[in-house]
Amino acid sequence: MKFIIQKDYLVQSVQDVMKAITSRTTIPILTGIKIVATDEGVTLTGSDSDISIESFIPKEENDIEIVEIQKTGSIVLQAKFFSEIVKKLPTNQVEIEVDQLQTVIRSGKSEFNLNGLDSEEYPHLPELSEQNILKIPTDILKNIIKQTVFAVSTSETRPVLTGVNWKVENGDLICIATDSHRLALRKAKINSNEEETYNIVIPGKSLNELNRILDDDNESVEIVITENQILFKTKHILFFSRLLEGNYPDTNRLIPTESKTDIIVNAKEFLQAIDRASLLAREGRNNVVKFATLSENVIEISSFTPEIGKVVEELISESISGEELKISFSAKYMMDALKALEGTEIKISFTGAMRPFVIHPINDDAILQLILPVRTY
């Protein structure tokens, strides 16, 4: 194998596939990056067997030559060393040549020799049939991930809760994440075959890595789902993830349909007030703030930690309707939820001091956050 490639394209591709590589793998060859040169261009692959990322660098793009292929072939190189070398090469032209398993990397006056591994021993990526492709614009997909993935569980006691539940029916995508103390829900229209229905759970870790790789544009991402794998395809990247096994709990009955107290408030002001109140609560083990409605649309946010002190702040809301309310909740959960919501005005609907409450932007049913209160009063 022998090719000459533009350094910046190579660096970007290496960075993308590195997101799937971990040193903790039990399969030694997976600590490497697989490099394949064909007549079309160069493909890099990284995998930890849960996530696999394939990045393709075409021979040319927009009539600019990126790779000159002199001899096709393939090799697996130690990811840790290869990624560091590529980043620090002196010139923008990189030549990579493989003879048996000996690999030479040249750039300017610099030359590295690396021992490679046989690419035949690298696990094959799953072949997914592409009959049923879902399509979704990249910017919407990134938003969906951002607005749900933070609420997945970090505890392995119920593995299915460490993922985000994606349901597809009638051209609607419904994404739900919960760690059983809070819940994030986001709906979106997607381009799909109307008869297609799916109910899958994607590991939160996979979605976080996918989000880092996706560009901020509105080009479509193609999605292919099988029984135990999901594939996200963009122009030059294939991102495979295994799916989590097990049935995701039915969360519909958690979401209250009526409310006793409704508050409309400016999301940014509310977030900043919660942030200030949590300054003293953070040291406590549960980071709890108290929230109370006062007269004339005033809400009071306070927090008290015996060893440190207390903080009280009043905030004018746009409107308060319904019963008076005192409730306590985790400041962190509230701040996470507020950061995920889009929109300046939000509505918070309470059904009592010990019942879950719901936050969503005014005039937008596509996104919802639910938080369970903490018993302190």
Look at residues 196, 219, 249 and tell me which one is the last residue of a structural domain: 249
Instruction: Give the type of residue at 318.
Output: E
Q: Is the dihedral of CA 336, 249, 255, 224 positive or negative?
A: positive
According to the model, what pLDDT value does residue 283 have?
64
Residue 344 lies in a domain: yes
According to the model, what pLDDT value does residue 163 have?
98
* pTM reported for the whole predicted model: 0.92
Residue 187 lies in a domain: yes
| Local structure of 272: helix, strand or coil | helix
Look at residues 249, 284, 314 and tell me which one is the last residue of a structural domain: 249
Percentage above 70 pLDDT, the chain: 98
243 and 259 within one domain:
no
Residue 137 lies in a domain: yes
Number of domains the chain contains: 3
pLDDT, tens digit, for every residue of 74-108?
999 999 999 999 999 999 999 999 999 999 999 99
234 and 144 within one domain:
yes
Domain with 74 in it: 2-121
Residue 162 lies in a domain: yes
Find the mean pLDDT for residues 320-331: 95
DSSP calls for 77-146? EEHHHHHHHHHH-SSSEEEEEEETTEEEEEETTEEEEEE-B-GGGSPPPPP---SSEEEEEHHHHHHHHH
211 and 195 within one domain:
yes
45 and 15 within one domain:
yes
* pLDDT(377) > 60: no
Find the mean pLDDT for residues 158-183: 95
Instruction: Kindly report the CATH number assigned to the domain that includes residue 223.
Output: 3.10.150.10
Count Cβ neighbours within 10 Å for each residue of 248-260 and write b for 16 or more, e otherwise.
beeeeebebeebb
Residue 311 tokens read as 């903080």
Decide if 34 contacts 119 (C-beta within 8 A): yes
Look at residues 249, 271, 286 and tell me which one is the last residue of a structural domain: 249
Rounded Cα–Cα distance for residues 93 and 21 (Å): 25
27 and 87 within one domain:
yes
96 and 55 within one domain:
yes
According to the model, what pLDDT value does residue 191 have?
83
Binned at pLDDT 50, 70 and 90, residue 128 comes out as confident
Name the CA radius of gyration of the chain, rounded. Answer: 25
7 and 115 within one domain:
yes
208 and 271 within one domain:
no
Decide if 335 contacts 274 (C-beta within 8 A): yes
Residue 349 lies in a domain: yes
Instruction: Kindly report the CATH number assigned to the domain that includes residue 303.
Output: 3.70.10.10
Rounded Cα–Cα distance for residues 166 and 174 (Å): 6
Residue 22 lies in a domain: yes
Find the mean pLDDT for residues 59-64: 92
pLDDT, tens digit, for every residue of 148-158?
999 999 998 99
pLDDT, tens digit, for every residue of 194-222?
778 999 999 999 999 999 999 888 899 99
Residue 213 lies in a domain: yes
- Size of the chain, expressed as the number of residues it contains: 377
215 and 165 within one domain:
yes
Rounded Cα–Cα distance for residues 333 and 60 (Å): 47
According to the model, what pLDDT value does residue 280 have?
84
Instruction: Give the type of residue at 250.
Output: D
357 and 286 within one domain:
yes
According to the model, what pLDDT value does residue 285 have?
64
pLDDT, tens digit, for every residue of 236-294?
999 999 999 999 999 988 899 999 999 999 999 999 999 999 998 766 666 899 999 99
357 and 310 within one domain:
yes
Residue with structure tokens 């953070």? 282
Residue 210 lies in a domain: yes
* pLDDT(193) > 80: no
Rounded Cα–Cα distance for residues 166 and 72 (Å): 40
245 and 162 within one domain:
yes
